[in-house]
Amino acid sequence: MEKAAVDVRKVEDIQCDVLVIGGGAAGVATAITARRQGLHVVLLERYGFCGGGAVAGLSGTVCGMYLATDRAGAQPEQVVFGFAEEFCKVLEGRGGLGAPLRYGKTWTRVHDPLVWRDAADAFLIENGVQVIYHAVATGTLLDGTERVEGVQAWTKQGPLTIRAKITVDASGDADLVAMAGLDSFVGDHGRVQNPTMIFRLQGVDVERFTTTYGDDTIMGEAVSKLIRERQLAGDDLPRTKIWLFPTTRPGELLCNCTRITGTDGRELNPLLYRDFTEAELNGRRQVHSYTRFFREYVTGCENAFINDTGVQVGVRQTRQVEGVAKLMNNDVVTARKFSDGIARSPWPIELHSGAKPKVEWILDDYYEVPYSCFVPVHGEGLLVAGRCLSAEHEAVASARVTAQCFSYGHAIGHAAAIAVRHGLEPRQIDPQEIRAALERDGAHLL
| pLDDT, tens digit, 9 for 90 and up, residues 55-92 | 999 999 999 999 999 999 999 999 999 999 999 999 99
Query: What is the pLDDT at residue 124?
Result: 98
Query: What is the pLDDT at residue 395?
Result: 96
CA–CA separation, 93 and 80 (whole Å): 19
CA–CA separation, 379 and 44 (whole Å): 21
CA–CA separation, 332 and 360 (whole Å): 10
Query: What is the pLDDT at residue 353?
Result: 65
CA–CA separation, 126 and 135 (whole Å): 21
Closest CA to 385 of 28, 16, 17: 28
CA–CA separation, 288 and 290 (whole Å): 5
Say if CB 347 and CB 383 are below 8 A apart.
Answer: no
Query: What is the pLDDT at residue 193?
Result: 86
Q: Is 216 exposed, middle or buried (0-12, 13-18, 19+ CB in 10 A)?
A: middle
Say if CB 280 and CB 312 are below 8 A apart.
Answer: yes
Pairing assessment for the beta strands 12-21 and 305-309 based on DSSP bridges: unpaired
Note the pLDDT tens digit of each residue in 192-238: 888 999 999 999 999 999 999 999 999 999 999 999 999 999 999 99
Residue 148: partners with Cβ closer than 8 Å, 6 or more residues away: 140, 141, 142, 167, 176, 180, 379, 380, 381, 382
Note the pLDDT tens digit of each residue in 128-171: 999 999 999 999 999 977 899 999 999 999 999 999 999 999 99
Strand, coil or helix: 211: helix
Residue 111: partners with Cβ closer than 8 Å, 6 or more residues away: 54, 60, 61, 62, 91, 96, 97, 98, 248
Query: What is the pLDDT at residue 331?
Result: 97
Q: What is the mean pLDDT of residues 422-438?
A: 98
CA–CA separation, 61 and 106 (whole Å): 13
Query: What is the pLDDT at residue 146?
Result: 84
Q: What is the mean pLDDT of residues 284-298?
A: 98
Query: What is the pLDDT at residue 394?
Result: 94
Q: What is the mean pLDDT of residues 355-362?
A: 79
| Structural Rg of the chain based on CA atoms | 21
Note the pLDDT tens digit of each residue in 311-358: 999 999 999 999 999 999 999 999 999 999 999 999 999 886 655 667
Q: Please, what is the average pLDDT of the chain?
A: 96
CATH, domain 12-97+110-190+317-440, list 3.90.1330.10, 3.50.50.60, 3.40.30.120, 3.30.70.890: 3.50.50.60
Intervals of CATH 3.50.50.60 along the chain? 12-97+110-190+317-440
Burial string for 182-213 (b: 16+ CB within 10 Å, else e) reads bebbbbeeeebbbbbbbbbbbbbbbeebbeeb
Q: Quote the Cα angle for 375-167-32, to 5°.
A: 100
Query: What is the pLDDT at residue 247?
Result: 98
Note the pLDDT tens digit of each residue in 227-283: 999 999 999 999 999 999 999 999 999 999 999 999 998 889 999 999 999 999 999
Quote the distance between the C-alpha of residue 24 and its chain's center.
7
* Share above pLDDT 90 across residues of the chain, in percent, rounded to a whole number: 93
Burial string for 331-364 (b: 16+ CB within 10 Å, else e) reads bbbebbebebbbbbbbbbbbbbeeeebebebbee
Query: What is the pLDDT at residue 356?
Result: 62
- Model confidence, pTM: 0.96
Say if CB 51 and CB 378 are below 8 A apart.
Answer: no
Secondary structure E strands in 212-318: 243-246, 253-256, 305-309
